[in-house]
């Protein structure tokens, strides 16, 4: 039987066997929680970037080796089977991956918690490259079903959308708005089991699929208009069809609004249902329930919870509002205006008329509170209103989320400061105690133990395995930072990882690279604020220095870039094309052959990140200061011994503080300097061009058509961006300092002992950035939940 | 749709004979319940057979209440399943109807 199975079938068989163990763990966990009746956390996120699950599940259950041995006996290879699994790419980037890391930490820490999301049939698109251009292909990750999902149709819920308000009075003569003429969606949960490390706790991530109701399906056969009925069925099921692929940009379509409401409604229905199974009345609801809103995408939960409490459970408004605020907490992930969600009032009126009424009422009462605190300050009222008086009027979801939550956090120290001082200072003045920082983190289980088993083994052999659940224990590596024996093993492991990546690059993009070269890595979504363009400018600088000045680099460099551009983001797609054209010119130039290589790896996803990150020497974290709320690839790369070259932005600042100035290459303008330049409008990029011949040469290279001989003018946009005095990302302002920082990095890499020391100290001092620490802080400061 | 009313004292009791009241049969329901509404000032509608009601079904119920109220009468509901009750609560219609578990309790409410 086994020899006849395909790899896919073998993977499925192994996964189902593992799932059985997970179910046992989940049932035991649920029984523990049932007996203890603890306060539970519910993490609502429109994205969960889970990646592959087989290895994580085996490691966390503690059965990796037994499984490997069992498969070997059957003539199968575990790593090969792992590679068959499709990534669950239900997310775009950092926000979705953070949610996935948090679930791992919640379970590992034994904190009672659940994830709630949407079961997109099509996850983030598959990226192919055609002539240097990104082409999106559908990611039908559920085509062959997922062995990890357990369908729970009996716990489905009905979600009304659209309709209108019928204004009436109740039996006592009071105003009674009735939500009529809605269409019904059915949310069917599919649970993915999430084991904590050690296997004691197994939670579930509840992902909802939108279906038309069974009754509706039956009516198709009875109704005269068959095709109309089928059209309506298809329309219902569209809600969970596809993840919106925009990262850090608002997707303003009606379908997205319905998705967001669908998530909030299904989650709240489930939360309330579970609560009511064991409690009567809502007095204890806030003592037993914490709900975290991952960005504003689930912020309709504020209005939906109010609707449930007031409309369905007949609670007085003030009581319901007190409960809502006590239960809800909001995490902000961005300050960028283009990423702040606002929904037009007319759209909300036709999609969620009752929620719009509730939002208006919340706003009315909230602004009364503001007016009492700041009498006569109409500008403040205007700024703080949940409704923006534009044409058409818009509902500001950030304001709604803040008003409806007892806690608002940013995701790094600098981000939280900017959130309080610049984005929402009025809210901070009104309720300063609401605001707090929770610096992001990553799970060391996936990002070191699983992704870099050789390094994990080395660490365990020297420190034991306590670091797996307490990353601060990596500090114990400090004493090995100058130990020749340890360094030699460390270096050998890095080289092995680099060889593995070199093979992947060779097989995927046909570029042969030297594993002894410095692997300079920038892997993240393509976005102007992340400044892949700045990276390309440095690459061009190194290339021109080599071929025109004869300046041989101190060490050969391989530049590795990866990331997806949102399909509608023209500039990001041009950046991908630029990278490919620059790569082609450099890689085909025999003069650069020994010294510089450039590779763009297509279809960046979690499983690819797990191969790239352990191989990195230098980690590019070069966003314009003040733009990257936190970043998390910075943490993953440092955890694997890559040294950061970066700006003082997001969590880079705290990484520097932990790791030490000597072990990181910081450059560029600080956030306050960027702000000053912007406000004084004194940025003159031409000056950098005129003053610095390096800058001139780089800019001229793009303009000359060196990288687009066959398509003249293709990269004229580069000049338009970098020479624009309104360039929001100040590329040329930071370019000289960036080139300087790279010089230092090259010199350091040439001194192997120094480089190894820095690399080891990065690993040793990164402990703060475990998502275990982050989640414990949320648990202590925001949720009030404890280990069970 | 056969909707006939029986009498308990002065109160008429009509049973909704279908399991689903939705867009596919609401018009039929409204047509067939009209004689019952016109002939009775005190009416209980028994929903115990109903498993599912959608927005148009709720609209039909509202319409019944308005027709009876317009003539100075009253309409009460009974026998709702949990799901049907939840749907009434979702749209706040439980605030405009008096709802009872059984026919008897609903009828007694008229007398009380």
From chain B, pick out residues whose CB is under 8 angstroms from the CB of A312.
Answer: 86, 89-90
Q: Are B96 and A222 within 8 A, CB to CB?
A: no
Determine how many CB atoms are found less than 10 A away from the CB of residue A256.
18
From chain A, pick out residues whose CB is under 8 angstroms from the CB of B56.
Answer: 181
Q: Best of A168, A282, A308 to disrupt the B interface by mutation (most B CBs within 10 Å)?
A: A168
- What string of DSSP letters covers A178-195? EEES-EEEEEEEEEEEEE
* Residue of chain A minimizing CA distance to B21: A215
Cβ A534 vs Cβ A645: under 8 Å: no
Q: Taken in order A259, A262, A268, A270, is the CA torsion positive or negative?
A: negative
Strand partners, A597: A558
Q: What are the CB-based long-range contacts (under 8 Å, 24+) for A503-506?
A: A504/A601, A504/A611, A505/A560, A505/A599, A505/A601
Q: Are B89 and A213 within 8 A, CB to CB?
A: no
* Residue of chain B minimizing CA distance to A173: B96
Q: Are A163 and B55 within 8 A, CB to CB?
A: yes
CATH homologous superfamily, domain B5-100: STAS domain (3.30.750.24)
| Residues 159-178, chain A, touching B (beta carbon < 8 A) | 160, 163, 166, 168-171, 176-178
Nearest Cβ partner for B58 among A171, A180, A183: A180
- Strand ranges of the sheet holding A394-396, from the earlier edge strand across to the other edge: A342-344, A394-396, A387-388
Q: What pLDDT was estimated at residue A246?
A: 82
Cβ A760 vs Cβ A488: under 8 Å: no
Q: Which residue matches tokens 């009791």?
A: B13
In whole angstroms, give the CA distance from residue A79 to residue A218. 46
Cβ A639 vs Cβ A442: under 8 Å: yes
Q: Are B95 and A181 within 8 A, CB to CB?
A: no
Please state at what angle helix A54-61 crosses helix A64-73, rounded to 10 degrees: 120
Nearest Cβ partner for A180 among B55, B86, B95: B55
Q: Are A176 and B96 within 8 A, CB to CB?
A: yes
Q: What pLDDT was estimated at residue B39?
A: 86
Q: Taken in order A289, A290, A296, A297, is the CA torsion positive or negative?
A: negative
From chain B, pick out residues whose CB is under 8 angstroms from the CB of A313.
Answer: 89
A312 touching B (Cβ < 8 Å): yes
Name the pairing type of β-strands A665-666 and A643-646: parallel
Q: What pLDDT was estimated at residue A220?
A: 56
Q: To 10 degrees, the CA torsion angle through A475, A481, A487, A492?
A: 40
Q: Which domains does chain A have, with CATH numbers?
A: 37-52+87-341+408-440+775-783 (3.40.50.2000), 516-769 (3.40.50.2000)
Low-confidence ranges of chain A (pLDDT < 50): none
In whole angstroms, give the CA distance from residue A494 to residue A26. 37
| Chain B closest-CA separation from residue A386 CA (Å) | 24
Nearest Cβ partner for B90 among A171, A312, A314: A312
Q: Enumerate the domain spans of chain B.
A: 5-100
| Chain A closest-CA separation from residue B7 CA (Å) | 25
Q: Best of A182, A214, A261 to disrupt the B interface by mutation (most B CBs within 10 Å)?
A: A182
Name the pairing type of β-strands A183-195 and A202-211: antiparallel
Percentage of residues of chain B with pLDDT beyond 70: 99
B54 touching A (Cβ < 8 Å): yes
* pLDDT tens column, A128-164: 999 999 999 999 999 988 999 999 999 999 999 999 9
* pLDDT tens column, A51-81: 999 999 999 999 999 999 999 999 999 999 9
| Chain B closest-CA separation from residue A40 CA (Å) | 24
Let me know how long chain A is. Answer: 788
* Residue of chain B minimizing CA distance to A353: B91
Which of A454, A452, A478, A487 is CA-nearest to residue A755?
A487
Q: Best of B22, B27, B87, B90 to disrupt the A interface by mutation (most A CBs within 10 Å)?
A: B90
Cβ A640 vs Cβ A623: under 8 Å: no
Let me know how long chain B is. Answer: 112
Phi and psi angles of residue A251, each rounded to the nearest 5 degrees, phi first? -100, 110
Determine how many CB atoms are found less than 10 A away from the CB of residue A274.
16
Q: What pLDDT was estimated at residue A553?
A: 87
Helices (H) and strands (E) in chain B, counts: 4, 7
Name the pairing type of β-strands A183-195 and A157-161: antiparallel
Which of A175, A188, A41 is CA-nearest to residue A119?
A188
* pLDDT tens column, B91-103: 999 999 999 999 9
Q: What pLDDT was estimated at residue A66?
A: 96
Percentage of residues of chain B with pLDDT beyond 90: 81
In whole angstroms, give the CA distance from residue A557 to residue A562. 16
Cβ B7 vs Cβ B1: under 8 Å: no
């Amino acid at each position: 039987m086994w020899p006849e199975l395909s790899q896919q079938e073998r993977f499925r068989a192994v996964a189902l066997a593992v799932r059985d163990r997970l179910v046992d763990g989940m049932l035991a966990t649920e029984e523990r929680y049932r007996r203890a009746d603890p306060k539970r956390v519910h993490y609502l996120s429109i994205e969960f970037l889970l990646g592959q699950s087989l290895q994580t599940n085996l490691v966390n259950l503690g059965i990796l080796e037994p499984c490997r041995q069992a498969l070997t006996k059957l003539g199968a290879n575990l790593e090969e089977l792992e590679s068959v699994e499709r990534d669950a790419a239900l997310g775009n980037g950092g926000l979705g991956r953070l949610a996935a890391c948090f679930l791992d930490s919640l379970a590992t820490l034994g904190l009672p918690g659940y994830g709630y999301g949407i079961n997109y049939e099509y996850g983030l698109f598959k990226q192919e490259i055609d002539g240097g251009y990104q082409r999106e292909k559908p990611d039908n990750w559920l085509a062959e079903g997922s062995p990890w999902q357990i369908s729970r149709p009996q716990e489905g819920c009905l979600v009304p959308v659209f309709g209108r308000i019928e204004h009436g009075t109740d039996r006592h003569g009071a105003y009674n708005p009735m939500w009529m003429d809605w269409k019904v969606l059915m949310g069917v949960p599919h649970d993915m089991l999430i084991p904590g490390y050690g296997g004691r706790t197994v939670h579930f991530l509840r992902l909802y699929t939108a279906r038309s109701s069974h009754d509706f399906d039956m009516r198709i056969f009875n109704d005269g208009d068959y095709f109309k009925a089928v059209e309506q069925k298809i329309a219902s099921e569209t809600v969970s069809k596809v993840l919106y692929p925009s990262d850090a940009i608002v997707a303003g379509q009606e379908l997205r609004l319905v998705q967001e409401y669908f998530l909030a409604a299904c989650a709240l229905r489930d939360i309330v249902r579970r609560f009511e199974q064991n409690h009567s009345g809502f007095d204890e609801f806030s003592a037993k329930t914490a709900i975290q809103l991952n960005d504003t995408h689930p912020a309709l939960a504020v209005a939906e919870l109010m609707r449930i409490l007031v409309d369905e459970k007949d609670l007085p408004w003030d009581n319901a509002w007190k409960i809502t605020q006590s239960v809800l907490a909001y995490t902000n992930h961005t300050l960028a205006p283009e990423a702040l969600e606002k929904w037009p009032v007319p759209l909300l009126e036709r999609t969620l008329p009752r929620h719009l009424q509730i939002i208006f009422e919340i706003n009315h009462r909230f602004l009364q509170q503001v007016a009492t605190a700041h009498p006569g300050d109409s500008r403040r009222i205007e700024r703080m209103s949940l409704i923006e008086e534009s044409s058409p009027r818009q509902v500001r979801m950030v304001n709604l989320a803040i008003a409806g939550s007892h806690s608002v956090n940013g995701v790094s120290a600098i981000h939280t400061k900017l959130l309080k001082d610049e984005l929402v200072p009025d809210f901070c003045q009104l309720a300063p105690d609401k605001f707090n920082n929770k610096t992001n983190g990553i799970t060391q289980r996936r990002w070191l133990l699983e992704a870099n088993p050789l390094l994990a083994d080395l660490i365990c052999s020297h420190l034991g395995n306590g670091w797996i659940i307490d990353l601060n224990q990596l500090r114990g590596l400090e004493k090995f930072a100058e130990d020749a024996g340890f360094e030699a093993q460390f270096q050998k492991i890095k080289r092995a990882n680099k060889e593995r990546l070199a093979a992947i690059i060779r097989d995927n993009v046909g570029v042969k690279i030297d594993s002894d070269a410095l692997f300079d890595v920038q892997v993240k979504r393509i976005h102007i604020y992340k400044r892949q363009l700045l990276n390309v400018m440095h690459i061009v600088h190194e290339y021109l220095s080599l071929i025109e000045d004869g300046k041989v680099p101190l060490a050969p460099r391989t530049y590795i870039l990866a990331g997806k551009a949102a399909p509608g983001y023209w500039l990001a797609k041009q950046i991908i094309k630029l990278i490919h054209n620059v790569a082609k010119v450099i890689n085909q130039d025999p003069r650069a052959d020994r010294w510089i290589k450039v590779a763009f790896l297509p279809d960046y996803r979690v499983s690819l990140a797990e191969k790239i990150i352990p191989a990195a020497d230098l980690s590019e974290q070069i966003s314009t200061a003040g733009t990257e709320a936190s970043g998390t690839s910075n943490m993953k790369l440092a955890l694997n011994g890559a040294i950061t070259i970066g700006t003082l932005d997001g969590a880079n600042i705290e990484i520097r503080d932990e790791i030490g100035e000597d072990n990181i290459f910081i450059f560029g303008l600080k956030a306050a300097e960027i702000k000053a330049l912007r406000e004084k409008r004194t940025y003159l990029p031409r000056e950098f061009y005129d003053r610095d011949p390096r800058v001139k040469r780089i800019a001229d290279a793009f303009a000359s058509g060196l990288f687009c001989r066959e398509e003249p003018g293709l990269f004229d946009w580069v000049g338009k961006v970098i020479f624009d005095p309104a360039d929001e990302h100040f590329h040329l302002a930071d370019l000289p300092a960036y080139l300087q920082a790279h010089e230092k990095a090259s010199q350091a890499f040439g001194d192997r002992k120094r480089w190894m020391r820095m690399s080891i100290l990065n690993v040793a001092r990164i402990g703060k950035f475990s998502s275990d620490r982050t989640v414990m802080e949320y648990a202590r400061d925001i949720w009030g939940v404890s280990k069970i | 749709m056969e909707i006939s009313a029986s009498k308990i004292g002065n109160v008429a009791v009509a049973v909704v004979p279908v399991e689903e009241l939705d867009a596919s049969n609401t018009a039929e329901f409204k047509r067939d319940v009209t004689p019952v509404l016109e002939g009775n000032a005190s009416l209980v509608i028994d929903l115990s057979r109903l498993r599912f009601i959608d927005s148009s079904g709720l609209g039909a119920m509202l319409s019944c209440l308005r027709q009876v109220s317009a003539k100075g009468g009253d309409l009460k509901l009974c026998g709702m399943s949990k799901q049907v009750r939840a749907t009434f609560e979702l749209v706040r219609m439980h605030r405009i109807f008096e709802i009872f578990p059984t026919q008897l309790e609903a009828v007694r409410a008229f007398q009380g």
